[in-house]
Amino acid sequence: MKKILPIITLTLIAFQSTVYAQYDPKAKEILDAMSQAYQQIGAFESDFSYSMENSDQSISEDFEGEIAVKGDKYRLKMGGQEIINDGSTVWTYLEEVNEVNIDDYDPDEGDISPTQIYNAYKRGFKYVYLEDETINGETYRVVDLVPENNDNQFFKIQLHIAESDKTLKKWRIFDKNGTRYTYEIDNFNPQASVTDELFTFDTSKYQGVEVVDLR
């Protein structure tokens, strides 16, 4: 019994520390600074790289893309498809079949969209600061977000936030089925001049496109 009790005590202390770290105040300070930085940006454009990996299923895919964001609107080009969201309607254009699907935008479906990633921590997540990481002379603050709802399909999002300007350089989504999704931002332009017309789908620019209205 004398040997077992110290082990139990140490386990309880470790558990309590983990629970405390799930709402780590240092992580919150970093996340709040990131959120404030994006709120001060009217619109931005950037290139990005995307990868999906699952070693158990021998899956490895890589794409490059472009994104423009303004408020709750975004336009995303990646892997032969284009996703346009004006805040209420979503158009998904499939280049290979020249088809566009139209649907209502439901922000409560739990997806982490490009307009939500830097504010996602504010609702439904625990968070913990992990470390500072230096890449090519730039320092990034690494923070994990963990869903409060255990039924979520992913168990963690890891953010890499630039210390210099508080913007997001990279994020990784860890799915429960072993899949890892990585997004990395390049050529970030926080002074982009974009109009609202960019965030609607203009059928006249896609000759012969088939329109599938799912609303």
* Tens-place pLDDT, residues 52-65: 999 888 889 999 99
SS3 33: helix
C-alpha dihedral, 148 to 160 to 108 to 81, nearest 10° = -140
Superfamily classification of domain 22-213:
Lipoprotein localisation LolA/LolB/LppX (2.50.20.10)
pLDDT at 3 over 70: no
CA-based angle 123:199:164, to the nearest 5?
55
Q: 171 burial class (0-12, 13-18, 19+ CB within 10 angstroms)?
A: buried
DSSP 209: P
Q: What are the sequence ranges of the domains in the chain?
A: 22-213
| Of 159, 164, 163, residue with least CA distance to 184 | 159
For 62, other C-beta atoms within 10 Å of its C-beta total 11
Taking only the tens place, the pLDDT of each residue in 77-96 is: 988 999 999 999 999 999 99
Is residue 170 within 8 A of residue 185, CB to CB? The reply is yes
Give pLDDT, residue 55.
86
How far is C-alpha 67 from the chain's CA centre? 13
Q: What is the mean pLDDT of the chain?
A: 86
- The token pair that represents 140 in the structure block: 């990034």
Dist CA 171 CA 185 (whole Å): 9
First-to-last C-alpha distance (Å) of the chain: 65
Residues in a beta bridge with 33? none
pLDDT at 114 over 90: no
Give pLDDT, residue 111.
59
SS3 20: helix
Taking only the tens place, the pLDDT of each residue in 180-204 is: 999 999 999 998 888 999 999 999 9
Taking only the tens place, the pLDDT of each residue in 144-194 is: 999 988 888 889 999 999 999 999 999 999 999 999 999 999 999 998 888
